[in-house]
Amino acid sequence: MSEVQKNNPNVDSTPPQIIPVENPATPGLSDQPTLIIGAGPAGLTAGYLLAKQGLPVIVFEAENQVGGIAKTEVRDGPGGQYRFDLGGHRFFTKVKEVDDLWHEIMREEFLKRPRMSRIYWNKKFLDYPLRGPDVIKKLGPVELTRATLSYFWAQIKPKGREDTFEQWVSNRFGKRLFDLFFRSYTEKVWGVPTSEIRAEWAAQRIKGLSFFSAAKAAFFGNKGNIKTLIGEFHYPRFGPGQMWEQMTEDIENLGGQVLMSTPVEKLEMTDGRVRKLHAGGQVYEPNQVISSLPLRNVVGMADPHPSPEVVAAAKGLRYRDFLTVSLVLDGQDLFPDNWIYIHEPDVMVGRIQNFRSWSPWMVPDPDKACVGLEYFCFAGDELWETDDEELVQLAMRELEQLRLAKPEMLEFGFATRVPKAYPMYDMDYADRIKAIRGWLDGIENLQQVGRNGLHRYNNSDHSMLTAMRAVDNLVKGTDHDIWAVNAESVYHEEEKQDQQQPYIVTPETRAQEKPLHE
| Contact between 358 and 242 (Cβ < 8 Å) | no
Residue 215's Cβ-side half-sphere holds a number of Cα atoms within 13 Å equal to: 20
Q: What is the pLDDT of residue 429?
A: 84
Element (DSSP H or E) covering residue 171? helix 165-173
CB 314 within 8 A of CB 440: no
What is d(CA 271, CA 446) in angstroms, rounded to the nearest whole number? Answer: 13
Residue 457 is predicted with a pLDDT of: 79
What is the model's pLDDT at position 223? 54
| Contacts by 219-226, CB closer than 8 A, 24 or more apart | 219/130, 219/132, 219/135, 219/147, 219/148, 219/151, 219/177, 220/151, 226/129
User: Region 124-149: what's the mean pLDDT?
Assistant: 86
- Exposure string over 258-285, b if 16+ CB within 10 A, otherwise e: bbeebbbeebbbeeebbeebbbeeeebe
Give the mean pLDDT of 76-80. Answer: 94
pLDDT for the residue numbered 173: 84
Q: What is the percentage of the chain residues whose pLDDT exceeds 70?
A: 89
Contact 317, 293 (CB under 8 A): no
Decide if pLDDT at 184 tops 70. yes
Q: Residues 242-260: what's their mean pLDDT? A: 97
Phi then psi for 282, rounded to 5 degrees?
-115, 160
Question: Model confidence at 215, in pLDDT bands (50, 70, 90)?
Answer: low
* pLDDT, tens digit (0-9, with 9 covering 90-100), for 151-160: 899 988 888 8
Give the pairing of strands 351-354 and 264-270. Answer: unpaired
Residue ranges, comma separated, of all CATH 3.50.50.60 domains in the chain are 3-69+237-315+425-484
Output the CA angle 7-10-16, nearest 5 degrees.
Answer: 105
SS3 233: strand
Mean pLDDT of 116-143: 87
Q: How many residues does the chain have?
A: 518
Q: Kindly report the average pLDDT of the chain as a whole number.
A: 89
Q: Say what percent of the chain tops pLDDT 90.
A: 68
Residue-level pLDDT at 10? 60
Does pLDDT of 207 surpass 80?
no
Query: 475: Cβ–Cβ under 8 A, 6 or more apart, which residues?
Result: 21, 24, 25, 26, 29, 50, 53, 55
pLDDT digits (tens, 9 = 90+) for 420-438: 998 887 778 889 999 999 9
Please compute, for residue 107, the number of CA atoms within 13 A of its CA located in the half-sphere on the CB side: 12
3-state SS assignment for residue 423? strand
Domain covering 3-69+237-315+425-484 in this structure, CATH number = 3.50.50.60
H helices of 316-450, where? 355-358, 388-401, 429-440
Give yes or no for residue 306 having a pLDDT over 70.
yes
Please name the residues in contact with 480: beta carbons below 8 A apart, sequence gap of 6 or more.
469, 470, 472, 473
Average pLDDT (386-400) is 98
Higher pLDDT, 228 or 478: 478
Sequence-distant (≥ 6) Cβ neighbours of residue 267 within 8 angstroms: 274, 276, 277, 278, 289, 298, 301, 302, 303, 446
61: number of Cβ within 10 Å: 26
Q: What is the pLDDT of residues 79-127, one digit of tens each?
A: 999 999 998 899 999 899 999 999 999 988 999 999 999 999 999 999 8
pTM given for the model: 0.89
Beta strand 319-330 pairing with 368-377: antiparallel
> Tell me, what's the pLDDT at 157?
87
The confidence band for 468, taking pLDDT boundaries of 50, 70 and 90, is very high
Residue 399: left (phi > 0), alpha (psi -120 to 50), or beta? alpha
pLDDT at 459: 84
Tell me the C-alpha distance between 317 and 83, whole Å. 32
- What whole-number distance in Å separates Cα of residue 298 and Cα of residue 300? 5
**Dihedral angle computed from the Cα positions of residues 48, 53, 56 and 57, in that order, rounded to the nearest 10 degrees:** -20
In sequence order, the β-bridge partners of residue 373 are: 325, 352
The amino acid present at 366, given as its one-letter code, is: P
**Residue among 316, 318, 457, 326 nearest 381 (CA):** 318
Compute the distance between CA of residue 312 and CA of residue 329 in angstroms, rounded to an integer. Answer: 47
Cα 260–chain centre separation: 22
3 state SS of 73:
strand
Q: How confident is the model at residue 221 (pLDDT cuts 50, 70, 90)?
A: low
CA of 103: how far to CAs of 2, 72, 112, 355, in Å? 18, 19, 12, 22
Residue 488 pLDDT > 70: no
Distance (Å, whole) CA 139 – CA 160: 29
Question: What is the number of other CB atoms lying within 10 angstroms of the CB of residue 226?
Answer: 16
Answer whether 360's CB lies under 8 Å from 352's CB. Answer: no
Judge whether 1 and 13 are in contact, CB under 8 Å: yes
Establish whether the linkage from the previous residue to 129 is cis, with ω within 30° of 0: yes
